[in-house]
Structure 1
Amino acid sequence: MTSQRRPGWAARFALPFAVLNALLTMENHGPGLWPSPALRLSFELSMALVALTAWIAWRGRAGAHVLRLLAAATAVWTVARYLDVTTSAVFGRQINLYWDGRHALEVLRMGDFAAWQLALGMLALLALPLLLYRIALACWCALAQALAWTPPRRAIGLAGVVLAACFAAHGIGGRDTRWFFSMPVAPILAHQAEVLAGQLLPGRSAAQLPPSPDFAQEGLAGLHGADVLLLFAESYGATTLDNPQQAAALAPARERLAQAIAAGGLQVVSARVRSPTYGGASWLAHAALLTGVDTHDPGAYELLLATERPSLAGHFRSHGWRTVNWMPGLHRPWPEGRFYGFDRYVDADGTGYRGPAFGYWRVPDQASMALLHAQELAQPPGTRPPRFVVFPTLASHAPFRPLPPYVPDWTRLTGDRAYTPSDLAQALAQPVSWQAPVTPYLESLAYTFEWLGDYLAHRAPRGMLTIVIGDHQPLASVSGAGASWDVPVHAISADAALLKRLEAHGFRPGLLPPPGPAAVDMHALTPMLLAVFGAPAAGLPGTAE
């Protein structure tokens, strides 16, 4: 490089370096999908620049193949960075390429996008890596030209040594010597490679499956033949208790539910448990409670369904209960669901719902409950086998729209005029927003509390035990960054002795669980319930019976 070009050297170096650094240090603080720049330095970019400087000093120039390799690596690093920070911002958890990739299309469909919008988005996704590659290649070529001038190479080499020393000295003497660095991307890619290996390589995950509780030790004498409704309340998280604004907004609906429970001659006790998942992947929570197996690792879930482990469904079935898996959120065959051993499996088409489709999920929860009651619970107890029913709700699933209206006349919900055209039009007119989801989230839970309270007060079978449990916290744009993985669980029954046994295990009266973090994981709730269901009288710690 000639001396005449020296005055412009800094600009020719700084601009491409700044572009590459911005791509590799982007952050996303939510709640949307758009990242923002960060005033930090990419350690990997710094080391790559030092390596390029050394290469040019050794070979005299950087060959085209070297620059293309750096550009390709930068594009991959950028995509990995975006996926990691955006998944954390939106869902509040680390990305899992194996699982999230399999369900990405379903998540997009929930947003009620038109087919052309989905097609355009797919084309953009395909074109984005090529665009990133072209941008990175132009930047690396510019840097290589700038580094052809010898004097700055020495300074860059010295700076690289200093930065590497700072990175390596982190934590020594309690000092933070990485405060100006962005989180490296390489550990993200290494973790994803480990996850993929654990899922795809034979034998890697088999040894990781945790043990099951001993179902054979317990019976169901403590239920006295009562029906059991296990209601997984979608995205019903501890944020509704811990966030003061959300707790206050939901307090009237929660109080009306408490009044309805009392009006039905019922009592309620509540606790907190830690879900194995956060912001999504509800099936991990369902499996954890239904089997008592720790499923926080998705690989454990995948392996679990290929085993013959015991489940609550099989346990109830072996003691004379008719077991029903009421799953209106499933729109396609789910053969692996046979693992649980239910007598009857019902998906969206099997519910018998003949009303209009409310968005992606189609079947409103209240109508689903009305159909479940008519088909399985309407006949008086004692004239039929008792039921064990698992029913995951849908209204509070992101994006929390469209929300159906509450219908006072439950008999209308089992026919083909369940909702009027104006009901549907009004629900569809409410905007779907991933940017401002808190209000519709709380409205969806208030709707759940309303129909559930009415059902328990006036329609539920006599003696039925209802367990309402959140499957996971809502996505991080609702619950906030760094929220716990806790969810509420409520047990509602007229059997005071049964609820007293739950109190001995940490539940407390009312709809508000004890404050503080959850004492147990969700899978640990299963052996607790087995003990309570199997104890007809005294014998549990802390009971006064």
Structure 2
Amino acid sequence: MTRARPSPMSPSGWGGWLARIAGPLLLLNALLTLENHGPGLWPRPALRLSFELVVAVVALAGWAAWRGRPGTRVLRLLAAASACWIVARYFDVTVSAVFGRQLNLYWDSRHALEVLRMGEFPAWQIALGALALLAVPLLLYRLALHCWRAIAQALAWPRPRPAIGLAGLLLVACFAAHGIGGRDTRWFFSMPVAPILAQQAGVLAGQLLPGQASARLTPSPDFAQASLAGLHGADVLLLFAESYGATTLDNPRQAAALAPRRAAFAQALAAGGLQVVSARVRSPTYGGASWLAHAELLSGVDMQDPGAYELLLATQRPTLARHFQAHGWRTVNWMPGLQRPWPEGRFYGYDRYGDAEHIGYRGPAFGYWRIPDQASMALLHAQELAAPPGTRAPRFMVFATLASHAPFRPLPPYVSDWDKLAGSEAYTPAEVARSLAAPVSWQAPVPAYLEALGYTFEWLGDYLEHRAPRQLLTIMIGDHQPLASVSGAGASWDVPVHIISSDAALLQRFEAAGFRPGLLPQEGPAPMRMEALTRLLLAVFDGSPARVPGTGE
């Protein structure tokens, strides 16, 4: 029996053809199926199949059967698309691993430089990263072009095309049949990249195209129908505790590590004649984008869609700051983390904006954020709360802390003498050196995170026990969960909220709405979102029991 002669397009027969096509296909598939289980920046290939690669190979085989070997323009287009797909895949899986949320191209690209500055990376590393951003896509393009040329050359041999077409149709059918009868027919596929790009395109279109976001905002609470009679003229401090998430309650190790600090905090409150009730709420963001949480609580408008934020700032919607202002409170935005002008902040309607340059801090800088939270609180007290309540207007103050912001270093030392914090010598050079020398670890950040929250409990407890006005109402709330490297994969978006006051009747109205006495809220998922908490605050501050959920008929 005479053996068939190999095709000119495959001089070594099937063995040579497989050797020629297998390498390029495996390489492209590995790059298109990257996974990152965190918390680092280095993904790894998965033992899965890229659906887009299947479609591209079948289409290329069809092109070769119909029109012959594809030209240079087609191969370059495939290579460019492959490079974009690989880069998109990398950023999607890496952002999810590090920050615990999906990539948002519109927002993340705008704040990428600030993230680099927060990490205090050396200039050479930032420069090297910038060069990599330029060089890597080009290298990926050249690599993909080499692979597609080899694949196209292999597909020029007609004998494998029917098998390729049949295998492609079967794989596409498996992908399309997913979910039918409850079956998972995609278990061997990696998550496609195309939906990621489509979603990012939708985000960009919603922000950049006129009229696309006009219907996104949810209704505002009825501020006009709520008074502040239930506060009896008390000062109000709304404290956004950076990255204070439900992981500190739900993770047994973190809860145990913070238990002594929580106990000391509770003891300080009791010694100061204060009581506390607590609950959980669901933040609109996770691992970052604190401004979304601030906007949702201060406006009562849903910020789950990041695109709604800029739309909100362009409206005249009411806010808690304007509500307090209308009833005679002086409103203060205390934001030591703001290091550049923030004109869009005018939306909230504060009487005073205190940013890093205007709160009066004269001490040494502690890393990127510069100003210790305890010093910020001391300055806020000295400038806004030191005068007796009867001699000034009551204050509504919004203060966002910084110590527990990633990477949770450097952590300033606690200072027992609060009067020193307003000057330039609150911290000794040795204390500053020790704080700055503490290593930053993105790979094992949990110990530093817990230390930072312990610091917050310590200085806040001391302030409320010894220095705060007796009638001060403090609302301490987490803005979002910390990074996924701290909170873990699949963690909820819940955050604790604590209401601290000496007004027992006020706290009872919160209890009637589901809050629990003490610093440990109820277990389980949060019963409400931040926007619902805004409505609850308005009802409680109004002082009418019938308006508070759970107390009416």
Q: TM-score, normalised by structure 2?
A: 0.97
**Correspondence list, 1:26-425, <5 A:** 26-425=34-433
Q: CA deviation at 1:543?
A: 5.2
Separation in 2, partners of 1:25, 1:344 = 50
Separation in 2, partners of 1:11, 1:246 = 52
Give the match's secondary structure for 1:330: coil
Q: CA deviation at 1:346?
A: 0.7
For the Cα contact (< 8 Å) 1:381–1:462, is it kept in 2? no
Aligned CA RMSD, in angstroms, stands at 1.3
Describe the superposition over 1:86-133 as per-residue Cα deviations: whole angstroms up to 9, x where unpaired.
111111111111111111110111110122221121111111110110
Describe the superposition over 1:289-338 as per-residue Cα deviations: whole angstroms up to 9, x where unpaired.
11111111112111111111111101111111111000000000000101
Separation in 2, partners of 1:297, 1:475 = 19
Give the match's secondary structure for 1:520: coil
Q: CA deviation at 1:57?
A: 1.8
Describe the superposition over 1:491-520 as per-residue Cα deviations: whole angstroms up to 9, x where unpaired.
000000000000011101000001110111
C-alpha distance 149-538 of structure 1, shift in aligned 2 (>3 A): closer
Say which of 525, 532, 535 aligns to 2:540: 532
- Paired AA for residue 348 in structure 1: A
Separation in 2, partners of 1:121, 1:173 = 47
Q: CA deviation at 1:537?
A: 6.5
Q: CA deviation at 1:228?
A: 0.3
Give the match's secondary structure for 1:351: coil
- Paired AA for residue 265 in structure 1: G
Q: CA deviation at 1:153?
A: 2.0
Describe the superposition over 1:233-262 as per-residue Cα deviations: whole angstroms up to 9, x where unpaired.
000000000111111111111111011110
Q: Does 1:5 align with 2:12?
A: yes
Give the match's secondary structure for 2:160: helix
Q: CA deviation at 1:150?
A: 2.2
Give the match's secondary structure for 1:150: coil
Match of residue 517 from structure 1: 525
Give the match's secondary structure for 1:382: helix
- Paired AA for residue 420 in structure 1: T
Separation in 2, partners of 1:163, 1:538 = 60
Separation in 2, partners of 1:204, 1:147 = 44
For the Cα contact (< 8 Å) 2:539–2:547, is it kept in 1? no
C-alpha distance 540-167 of structure 1, shift in aligned 2 (>3 A): closer
Match of residue 16 from structure 1: 24
Separation in 1, partners of 2:329, 2:118 = 35
Give the match's secondary structure for 2:121: coil
Q: CA deviation at 1:399?
A: 0.7
Give the match's secondary structure for 1:140: helix
Moved more, 6-15 or 467-476: 6-15
- Paired AA for residue 317 in structure 2: R
Separation in 2, partners of 1:249, 1:239 = 12
Q: TM-score, normalised by structure 1?
A: 0.98
Give the match's secondary structure for 1:154: helix
Q: CA deviation at 1:541?
A: 5.2
Separation in 2, partners of 1:360, 1:90 = 20
Separation in 1, partners of 2:515, 2:541 = 15
For the Cα contact (< 8 Å) 2:36–2:94, is it kept in 1? yes
Q: CA deviation at 1:538?
A: 7.2
Give the match's secondary structure for 1:82: helix
Separation in 1, partners of 2:442, 2:518 = 33
Match of residue 3 from structure 2: none
Separation in 2, partners of 1:538, 1:258 = 30
For the Cα contact (< 8 Å) 1:222–1:537, is it kept in 2? no
The number of equivalent residue pairs is 544
Q: CA deviation at 1:184?
A: 0.6
Say which of 400, 411, 434 aligns to 1:426: 434
Gaps spanning 5+ residues in structure 2: where?
1-6
Give the match's secondary structure for 2:32: helix
Match of residue 4 from structure 2: none
Separation in 1, partners of 2:265, 2:44 = 42
Separation in 2, partners of 1:148, 1:539 = 75
Separation in 2, partners of 1:372, 1:384 = 15
Give the match's secondary structure for 1:361: coil
- Paired AA for residue 410 in structure 1: W
Separation in 1, partners of 2:127, 2:493 = 35
For the Cα contact (< 8 Å) 2:536–2:548, is it kept in 1? no
Gaps spanning 5+ residues in structure 1: where?
none
Separation in 2, partners of 1:72, 1:537 = 64
Separation in 1, partners of 2:67, 2:102 = 41
C-alpha distance 538-162 of structure 1, shift in aligned 2 (>3 A): closer
Moved more, 368-377 or 528-537: 528-537
For the Cα contact (< 8 Å) 1:61–1:148, is it kept in 2? yes
Q: CA deviation at 1:540?
A: 4.1
C-alpha distance 539-188 of structure 1, shift in aligned 2 (>3 A): closer
Give the match's secondary structure for 1:394: coil
- Paired AA for residue 41 in structure 2: L
